[in-house]
Structure 1
Amino acid sequence: MDAPDNQLGYWNAAGAAKTFGHPVEPTWLDRIDRQARILDYGCGYGRLSGLLAGRGFVAVEGVDIAPSLIARARETWPGPLFAILDSPPRLRHDDASIDAVFLFAVLTCVPTDAGQRELVAELRRVLRPGGLLYLSDLCLQDDRRNQDRYQEFAARYGTYGVFETGDGAVCRHHTMDWLHSLLTGFDLVATREVGVDTMNGHPAVATQLLVSRT
């Protein structure tokens, strides 16, 4: 991935101290065998990987581009395996070798169309047929603060919904139509919306999709 999709400098510095809070839906987890091979892509400091291990999943691996975040994950969560992504989004896993992938608040950190397509294609490659992708991300928000910054940065980045944060990140909020187009090659299993706090502490509505690889 090229800039602004690969924001290693940000995630190794300011981003390394962030707190992430997208919740999981327990009934969706019940669809996944506790022995399943699970990949937490963009795991950050391992919050979700640790949560999954705590719920009895025994084969959880978290991957992230930022060594600072992976170091924090390894110190905090001794159960899951954590690895640094050297050439994102390329994974070292074989085709159809993963049972479930979690992609929580990652697309928002990959602002270009091409970068997002490349990432989802790689996740589909490693998922087995029938394997689950659990996506949690942010669609376009309807509050004035977000609408103003969508408008401010639309010309610069060529996409309405891409914006810069005050501390150096470039992020993206999405339309549902775009998310569904990204997920061509998957069948929709379930969807929901849930309130979250962003990494900078602002309230937002997250969209969660559970899809199955065809």
Structure 2
Amino acid sequence: MATHSELRDFWERRLERDWTESGVGYRALGRPFNTWMYRVREEVFLREAGRLGLSGSSVLDVGSGTGFYVRLWERLGAADITGCDMTDAAVARLRERYPDHRFVRQDAADLDAFDDASFDALSCMDMLFHITDDDRYASAVREFARVLRPGGTLVLSENCLQRPEQRGEHQVNRTLEWIAGTANKAGFDLVRRVPMLVLMNAQVDASLPWRKTWGGVLRLAALTGATGWLAGAALYPVERRLVRTRRESPTTELLVCRRRV
């Protein structure tokens, strides 16, 4: 596995070159397919975060990337939005794109720029599985609890495996038991878990034959920008239905946690 410094350098280079949906998403599938994928992510986030009644709240978005979820918090009526990212490339561009909000370079495992109990809600989307060191992951979740007010809300997306964990150089897919246990130790109660995607992402919690087969199908469909756009457009209505009707997903899920009082 890569060290923390190597991971930061990896993301610094990646976002410097590609500050788009493909840069922060499933890069092998290209930007046109990722654009459709992020439409589904947007709908799920707005539906689930919208039901929490956080209009007028103070929000911290950790791992802001391109600012995709900053924009969604704006739509949900958050009164005060702060974002942070571990890369200079993202922070500089976020400040230009969203001049009315504050952005700082901070690592999720050490949010020392923020005081205790200073936010009503915190989002951390598609980022935690890129923390390959378990201790740093646990430290990040403890930091989330520290900066949230008692009763505050944590919204995150994760690959919650019910099969054995999968470890790679830049990503670790952990088990639901480990993720929920880590959140519980940090002072969170898991109150809701729903699919964020079903077919439009790597099938990390499926059998190996299906995982390889479907991954190959997606990469073949996205060989060019045009075919990737068509594949995304074809899957989009199917995916919208699946994320509304399924209780669990073989890929990314959205979790809502509450900081215990």
- Bucket of the pairwise TM-score, normalised by the shorter protein: 0.7 to 0.9
Secondary structure in 1 matching 2:196: strand
Match of 1:102 in 2: 123
Match of 1:70 in 2: 91
How many pairs are equivalent?
A: 192
Letter in 2 for 1:118: S
The residue number in structure 2 matching 1:190 is: 192
Q: What amino acid does structure 1 have at the position aligned with 2:87?
A: A
Match of 1:119 among 140, 148, 162: 140
Residues 51 and 6 (structure 1), Cα distance of their counterparts in 2 relative to 1, 3 Å cut: farther
- 2-structure distance, mates of 1:42, 1:86: 8
Which position in structure 2 is the counterpart of 1:51?
72
Letter in 2 for 1:7: L
Assess, with a 3 A threshold, how the Cα gap between structure 1 residues 209 and 27 changes in structure 2: closer, same or farther.
closer
Structure 2 contact 117–150 (Cα < 8 Å) conserved: yes
TM-score of the two chains, using structure 2 as the length reference: 0.65
- How far did 1:123 drift? 0.8
CA contact (8 A) 2:160 2:174 kept: yes
Determine the C-alpha separation between the residues in 2 that align with 1:139 and 1:188: 13
Identify if the C-alpha distance between structure 1 residues 42 and 5 changes in structure 2 by more than 3 Å, giving closer, same or farther: farther
Q: Structure 1-normalised TM-score?
A: 0.78
Q: Percent identity?
A: 27
Alpha carbons of structure 1 residues 73 and 39: separation in structure 2 relative to 1, 3 Å = same
> As a proportion of its length, which structure holds more strand?
1
Deviation at residue 97 of structure 1 after TM alignment: 1.3
Alignment pair present for 1:207 and 2:257 = no
* Shift in CA distance, 7/19, structure 1 to aligned 2, threshold 3 Å: closer
Q: CA deviation at 1:121?
A: 0.5
Q: Distance in 2 between matches of 1:205 and 1:141?
A: 11
Secondary structure at 2:158 match in 1: strand
Runs in 1 of length 4+ with deviation above 4 angstroms? 196-199, 201-204
Pick closer, same or farther for the CA change 1:70–1:192 going to 2, 3 Å. same
Q: Are 1:181 and 2:186 counterparts?
A: no
Partner Cα separation in structure 1 for residue 126 and residue 196 of structure 2:
13
Aligned partners of 1:209 and 1:130: how far apart in 2?
16
Gap runs ≥5 in structure 2:
26-37, 203-217, 220-231, 233-249
Counterpart in the other structure of 2:171: 171
Residues 27 and 106 (structure 1 numbering): CA distance in 2 closer, same or farther, change over 3 Å? closer
Deviation of the 1:105 alpha carbon:
1.1
The AA in structure 2 aligned to 1:89 is D
* Change in 2 beyond 3 A, CA 1:47/1:87: closer
8 Å contact 2:161–2:174 — kept in the other structure? yes
Query: 1:205 is paired with a residue of what secondary structure?
Result: coil
Q: Alpha-carbon deviation of 1:38?
A: 0.3
Letter in 1 for 2:168: F
Secondary structure (helix, strand or coil) at the match of 1:95 reads coil
Bigger radius of gyration among the two: 2
Shift of 1:128: 0.8
